[in-house]
Amino acid sequence: MRSNTVRCWLLMVAILIAAPATAADGLHFVTEPFPPFSYEENGKAAGPMAEVIQAVCAVAKMTCTAEVMPWRRALADAEEGRVDGIFSILHGPDREKKFFLSDPIISSAYSFFGMKGSNWSYTTPADLNGMTIGVYGPSSTSRALDEVTAGAKGVKVELELENFDAYKKLIVGVYGPKSAVMANRDVGLALLKGKNLAGIVPVGDLKPIAYCFGLSRQKSSAGQMEALNRALRTLTASGKIKQILAKHGLQGVARSK
């Protein structure tokens, strides 16, 4: 009799350990310094995505926290289930392999930036013929650039450790007279403003992109994401999400009716 009781107790402990976190347990998110979407302020995660998640969690009656750390560590922790979720990530099939994804939240684009008055702009891959393009990488941005340069001739891609390095080299002419930088449009604009880099302007979008948040498939459940998405849709319909994003100069993703 005693052995049966012990076995039952051990089974209950095993079930509790293996069970995914519930709403009552709270959700812990990680993010990176990625202005204007996310950044650290007074030791806490801040920015539009952090505000959206807090609003969503409040409606879903979940307690959510967020921590800022280097991107590679954040991504590894989220993919391997050491934390519940991550933001901001691109909405698409590649991320769905590791995460339950929220609805797309922020609309942005991969864009080209050039020197004002250069008379160059991007419309089609042929416009890249003979160009030198600086880009932060390896990254999703540089991979998108690699895809489009396959359809151009004589393109030279310069990978940089930071977007700032690419902008500096463009300004001083390191890339040569036929050159530009490719970056996330909103990240690029925020960097130019924050660093007071004058003379660089957007000169064409490569393609639109959208950012969302994700819950780790290793730790969380599809049901939790369904609850968060219901809350997100409620806040979107009320105009609250638009209000949060507009405060930061960003645009939401248009919803089909």
Average pLDDT, the chain: 90
Examine the domain organization and report whether 101 and 227 are in the same domain.
yes
**Do the domain assignments include residue 233?**
yes
Confidence grade of residue 256 (pLDDT, cut at 50, 70, 90):
low
pTM attached to this predicted model: 0.83
Examine the domain organization and report whether 143 and 194 are in the same domain.
yes
Domain membership of residue 169 as a residue range: 108-208
Examine the domain organization and report whether 148 and 168 are in the same domain.
yes
Examine the domain organization and report whether 24 and 54 are in the same domain.
yes
Do the beta carbons of residue 134 and residue 179 sit within 8 Å?
yes
Residue 103: CB partners within 8 Å, gap ≥ 6? 212, 229, 232, 233, 236, 253
pLDDT at 221 over 90: yes
Q: What does the pLDDT average to over 57-84?
A: 96
Residue 31: CB partners within 8 Å, gap ≥ 6? 38, 45, 49, 50, 66, 67, 68, 69, 74, 86, 87, 88
**Do the domain assignments include residue 7?**
no
Examine the domain organization and report whether 72 and 191 are in the same domain.
no
pLDDT of the residue at 15? 38
Question: Mind listing the pLDDT tens digit for each residue in 162-186?
Answer: 999 999 999 999 999 999 999 999 9
Confidence grade of residue 23 (pLDDT, cut at 50, 70, 90):
very low
Examine the domain organization and report whether 102 and 214 are in the same domain.
yes
**Do the domain assignments include residue 126?**
yes
pLDDT of the residue at 257? 53
pLDDT of the residue at 7? 53
**Do the domain assignments include residue 150?**
yes
**Do the domain assignments include residue 46?**
yes
Examine the domain organization and report whether 80 and 124 are in the same domain.
no
Residue 250: CB partners within 8 Å, gap ≥ 6? 36, 37, 48, 106, 107, 108, 186
**Do the domain assignments include residue 74?**
yes
pLDDT of the residue at 177? 94
Confidence grade of residue 151 (pLDDT, cut at 50, 70, 90):
confident
Question: Mind listing the pLDDT tens digit for each residue in 80-116?
Answer: 999 999 999 999 998 999 999 999 999 999 999 999 9
Q: Which of 64, 51, 71 is nearest to 224 (CA)?
A: 64
Examine the domain organization and report whether 199 and 135 are in the same domain.
yes
Question: Mind listing the pLDDT tens digit for each residue in 205-217?
Answer: 999 999 999 999 9
Confidence grade of residue 22 (pLDDT, cut at 50, 70, 90):
very low
pLDDT at 28 over 90: yes
Q: What is the CATH number of the domain that holds 187?
A: 3.40.190.10
**Do the domain assignments include residue 122?**
yes
Examine the domain organization and report whether 216 and 100 are in the same domain.
yes
Examine the domain organization and report whether 35 and 70 are in the same domain.
yes
The whole-angstrom separation of Cα 161 and Cα 137 is 6
pLDDT of the residue at 223? 96
pLDDT of the residue at 18? 39
pLDDT of the residue at 25? 57
Number of domains making up the chain: 2
**Do the domain assignments include residue 186?**
yes
Examine the domain organization and report whether 221 and 129 are in the same domain.
no
Examine the domain organization and report whether 26 and 151 are in the same domain.
no
